[in-house]
Chain A
Amino acid sequence: MVAVRVKNLTKKFGSFVAVDHINLEVESGKILAFLGPNGAGKTTTIKMLTGILFPDGGGMEILGVKDPYPSKEIEVKKRIGLVPEEPKIYPYFRGYEFLNFIMDIYECDERTEERMEDLIGAFNIDYLDKFISDMSHGMKQKLLLVSVLMREPEIMFLDEPTVGLDAKSAKILKIFLKRLAENGKTVFMTTHILEIAERMADEIVIINKGKIIAKGTMEELRKQAGEEGTLEDLFLKLTGEEEEVKRILEELGK
Chain B
Amino acid sequence: MRELKIFMKYGLFFIVTRRKKSSSKKTVLFGQIAVFGYFSVFTGVMMYSMLSKLKDIVINNMSLVDLYALYWNFLSGVFFLLGVIGSSVYVLSMNEEVEFLLVLPVRRWTVTFYQLFMAIFYDLPVFGMFMAVSVSYGLILGGLYPAIAVVTAIVHSLMLLTLGVYISTFVARKVTGSIARRIFIFIQAVALVGFILLLNFSMSSTSNDMNALFIKLSKIYKVLSSPFNIFGYAISSINKPSYIGVSLLLTILFGYLFVKESGKMGFVVVKGSAKKKVKYKRYARNYSIMMKDFKAIFRQDNSLFLLLYPYVFGAFMGWSVKDPLYALLVAVPISSMYALLEASQALLHDVSNWEITRSLPYTYKELISYKMFLTTGVNLLLSLALLAFTSFFGGFNPKSLWVLLIAANEFVMATSAGVYAVLSNPPKTENVSRELMKAPLWMSFITIGVTVGAIFGFGTLQKWWGLLIFIASMTSTEVLIGVYLRFSKKRFKDLIEGKI
Binding site for B on A (CB under 8 A): 11, 13, 47, 50-54, 56, 70, 73-74, 77-78, 81-82, 84-86, 88-97, 99-101, 103-107, 113, 126-131, 133-134, 144
Contact = CB atoms under 8 A, between A and B. Distances in A.
B97 interface: no
A148 to B, nearest CB: 9
Contact of B299 (A73, A74, A92, A101): A92
A130 B285 CA distance: 23
Contact of A84 (B283, B296, B350, B355): B355
A91 B344 CA distance: 16
A103 B177 CA distance: 27
B498 A11 contact: yes
B178 A84 contact: no
Contacts of A13: 498
A155 to B, nearest CB: 12
10 contacts: A52-B496, A78-B361, A84-B359, A92-B349, A96-B280, A105-B288, A129-B275, A129-B276, A130-B272, A134-B269
B273 A129 contact: yes
Contact of B281 (A82, A93, A100, A129): A100
Nearest to A86: B355
Contact of A89 (B276, B300, B356): B356
B353 A90 contact: yes
Contacts of B285: 104-105, 107
A90 B276 CA distance: 21
Contact of B356 (A53, A78, A84, A134): A84
Contacts of A131: 177-178
B280 A82 contact: no
Contact of B358 (A52, A92, A126, A130): A52
B361 A106 contact: yes
Interface residues of B, number: 44
B363 interface: yes
B1 interface: no
B282 A103 contact: yes
A134 B90 CA distance: 12
A128 to B, nearest CB: 5
Interface in B347-371: 349-350, 352-356, 358-363
Contacts of A88: 352-353, 355-356, 430
A101 B285 CA distance: 8
Contact of A134 (B176, B280, B299, B360): B176
A91 B359 contact: no
B278 A128 contact: yes
A104 B282 contact: yes
Contact of B295 (A52, A74, A93, A127): A93
Interface of B: 93, 176-178, 181, 269, 272-273, 275-276, 278-285, 287-289, 291-292, 295-296, 299-300, 349-350, 352-356, 358-363, 430, 496-498
Contacts of A107: 285
B278 A129 contact: yes
A-B pairs, top 7 by smallest CB distance, nearest first, are: A104-B288, A96-B278, A84-B355, A77-B361, A92-B299, A82-B359, A52-B358
A52 B357 CA distance: 9
Contacts of A126: 275
Given A52-B354, A74-B362, A96-B280, 18 more contacts: A53-B497, A70-B496, A77-B360, A77-B361, A82-B356, A86-B355, A90-B295, A92-B296, A94-B278, A96-B278, A100-B280, A104-B282, A104-B287, A105-B362, A106-B361, A113-B280, A126-B275, A131-B178
A51 B278 contact: no
A89 B359 contact: no
A52 B280 CA distance: 29
A89 B353 contact: yes
B64 to A, nearest CB: 47
